[in-house]
Each structure stands twice: as C-alpha cells, then as structure tokens.
C-alpha cells in the first residue's frame, strides 16, 4: 500500500513537472491544431471536399487561379460558364492542348462545374505587373475600341458567359492567343475572333496585348484608387491631364518630392498627349475623379 502511494506521488509530481516545463508548448500545439482545422474547414467551404481539383491547377495558373505568369492565363474571376465551356472543349479536343486535354478528360461534369465555380469566385487581379508603354497602350486601346471588343467581352473587358475576361491577362498569353486565332490554330464557335484577328498586324497584336495586360480588372481596381499622397489618374479628363503634366514638366506646378518632374521631364508633347489619352480611357472601375 505504501509502495503504491509512493508511486502515485511520483507520477503526480512527474506530470506536474512536465506541465510546468512543457505546458506552454503543449498548449501552443493545441492552438495550432485548432487553427489548422479552421483553415481546412474554410478551404472545404470555398473549394469543396478533398481532393480538390484546383490543387493541380495552381502549378501553372497560380494559387486561386491568380497566375502571376504572363505566359499562363489567370483563371480567377473568369465567368463560370466560360470556364466550363473551355474545359469541355479541351476534353473533346475541340481546343487541342497537350496539357489541358488529358486533365479535362479526367473530369466529370460535376467536377467541371465545381472547378469553374471556384475560380469564378476568386478575385481577379492583374496577371503581371508590367511597365506600361503609354504610346503602345494607346495604340492597343484604339484597336480594341475600333474592333468593339466590349461587345463580346463585356464592360471593362471583364468577360461574360460567352467570352473570357481580357482585362489584366498576361501579355505574352494574350499575344499568343491572337496569333493562334489569326493563323487558324484556335477557333471560337462564332468565328468572330478569327475574323477580328485576321485583320491585325503583328504590331497591332503587340499593342493590343500590352494594353489589355495593363488594365486592372474591375474587382481589383479599388486598390488603385487615389490616396492622400497621390491622386487617381484613371478616367481623368484628358485635356486636364495634358495641362497638369505640362505644368509639372515646365515647373509651373510644384511636386514636393520632385518625383513627377523627373518622370515627365523628357516627355515630348506627343508623349504627353499619348499618356493623357491612355489614362483618360483606362478601365479603373471608378467614375470621375480629379487631379488636385
């Protein structure tokens, strides 16, 4: 009896000592486990039960379909109906692709619907941050407007059930697809894209791809709204932009950090007009605005 009592005391003492020495760590592991469970539950709620097909997609298309690679299309924010249609086209070889074909053929209709719905829910962002060539972007915008691209691709070129989002897609990817449409290596059901692309020169394609890649997709545009330090320029009045840029260049308008003066010092009159034209017409998801 005495021996059992001694053993019990030793065990209690050992447990107490372990609690003192390792209690915080054990509690930390417990909290980590609970946090991990919550994260898994959130992922399941957003993307469905495991296994999740989009886990394969992120290798090329990035996490949540936000590619970040100009050579691969962003899937985030693409209309679900359009994504479903493309998966079926890949599966049937109506849109041949050595990578997407086998992947799509391994999916059933329900998986395609779930995958398309998942990517459609994700916030669209620019596929890549590019250094905008204002003159090239202005030419691209002129071509886009002349070809009435918004008629199919929707306001802000954000896409719809029939046509994909173009705003903010990767520059290299956009150029490759236009070349493929022009050469007849890619087709759309109406033939509209083949007809449009057939009339584009190499320089037109380069300009259009550059312009489209420079557009901030509508849902992400709020992040580019003006701050206390700098005004929003997108969709500002073109004539006023020319006036303000010229004033900064000639020193008739002060810039406390001298950053703007340095940026515009070498711009010619034609450059200034091209920049103003581009900024006045770029899609930003906001109306109006002023340069103060």
Query: Could you report the per-residue pLDDT of 195-234, keeping only the tens digit for each?
Result: 999 999 999 999 999 999 999 887 533 333 444 456 667 6
Cβ-proximal residues to 253 (8 Å cutoff; 6+ apart), any chain: 244, 247
Residue 269 has pLDDT above 80, yes or no: yes
Dihedral (CA of 260, 262, 263, 268) sign: positive
Q: Measure the CA angle with vertex 170, ends 118 and 97; round to 5°.
A: 70
pLDDT of 144 reads 95
Q: Measure the CA angle with vertex 154, ends 151 and 158; round to 5°.
A: 145
- Which residue would you say has higher pLDDT here, 275 or 226? 275
In this predicted structure, which of 9-23, 47-61, 62-76 has the lowest mean pLDDT? 9-23
Q: Where are the alpha helices (DSSP H) in 122-233?
A: 134-146, 150-153, 171-183, 192-198, 202-214
189, with CB counted inside 10 A (0-12, 13-18, 19+), is exposed
pLDDT tens digits, one per residue of 232-258: 676 677 877 888 888 887 877 765 445
Cα–Cα distance measured from residue 130 to residue 33, given in angstroms and rounded to the nearest whole number: 40
Cα–Cα distance measured from residue 136 to residue 208, given in angstroms and rounded to the nearest whole number: 8
- Share of residues in the chain with pLDDT > 70 (%): 69
Kindly state the DSSP code that residue 227 receives in the 8-state scheme: -
pLDDT of 285 reads 40
- Residue whose tokens read 């592991």: 29
Among the listed residues 99, 149, 129, the one whose alpha carbon sits nearest the alpha carbon of residue 220: 129
Cα–Cα distance measured from residue 62 to residue 206, given in angstroms and rounded to the nearest whole number: 24
Across 99-128, average pLDDT:
92
Residue 187 has pLDDT above 80, yes or no: yes
Residue 164 has pLDDT above 80, yes or no: yes
Cα–Cα distance measured from residue 163 to residue 196, given in angstroms and rounded to the nearest whole number: 14
pLDDT confidence band for 168 (50 / 70 / 90): very high
Residue 273 has pLDDT above 80, yes or no: yes
CA neighbours closer than 13 Å in the CB half-sphere of residue 201: 6
CATH class of domain segment(s) 53-214? mainly alpha
Cα–Cα distance measured from residue 166 to residue 251, given in angstroms and rounded to the nearest whole number: 39
Cα–Cα distance measured from residue 90 to residue 57, given in angstroms and rounded to the nearest whole number: 14
Average pLDDT, the chain: 79
In this predicted structure, which of 23-27, 104-108, 189-193 has the lowest mean pLDDT? 23-27
């Amino acid at each position: 009896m005495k021996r059992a009592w001694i053993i019990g005391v030793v065990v209690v003492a050992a447990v107490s000592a372990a609690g003192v020495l390792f209690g915080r760590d054990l509690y930390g592991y417990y909290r980590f486990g609970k946090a991990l469970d919550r994260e898994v539950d959130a992922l399941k709620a957003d993307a469905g039960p495991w296994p999740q097909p989009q886990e394969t997609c992120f290798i090329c298309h990035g996490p949540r379909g936000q590619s970040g690679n100009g050579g691969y299309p962003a899937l985030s924010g693409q209309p679900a109906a359009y994504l479903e249609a493309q998966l079926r086209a890949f599966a049937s070889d109506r849109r041949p692709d050595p990578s997407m074909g086998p992947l799509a053929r391994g999916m059933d209709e329900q998986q395609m619907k779930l995958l398309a719905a998942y990517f459609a829910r994700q916030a669209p962002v620019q596929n890549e941050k590019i250094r905008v060539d204002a003159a090239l972007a202005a030419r691209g915008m002129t071509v886009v407007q002349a070809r009435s691209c918004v008629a199919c691709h929707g306001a802000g070129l954000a896409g719809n059930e029939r046509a994909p989002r173009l705003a903010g897609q990767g520059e290299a990817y956009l150029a490759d697809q236009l070349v493929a449409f022009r050469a007849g290596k890619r087709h759309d059901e109406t033939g509209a894209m083949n007809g449009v692309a057939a009339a584009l020169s190499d320089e037109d394609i380069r300009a259009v791809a550059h312009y489209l890649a420079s557009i901030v997709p509508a849902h992400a545009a709020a992040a580019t709204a003006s701050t206390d330090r700098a005004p929003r320029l997108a969709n500002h009045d073109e004539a006023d932009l020319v006036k303000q840029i010229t004033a900064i260049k000639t020193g008739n308008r002060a810039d406390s950090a001298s950053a703007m003066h340095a940026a515009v010092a070498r711009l010619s009159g034609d450059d200034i007009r091209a920049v103003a034209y581009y900024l006045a017409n770029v899609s930003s998801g906001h109306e109006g605005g002023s340069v103060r």
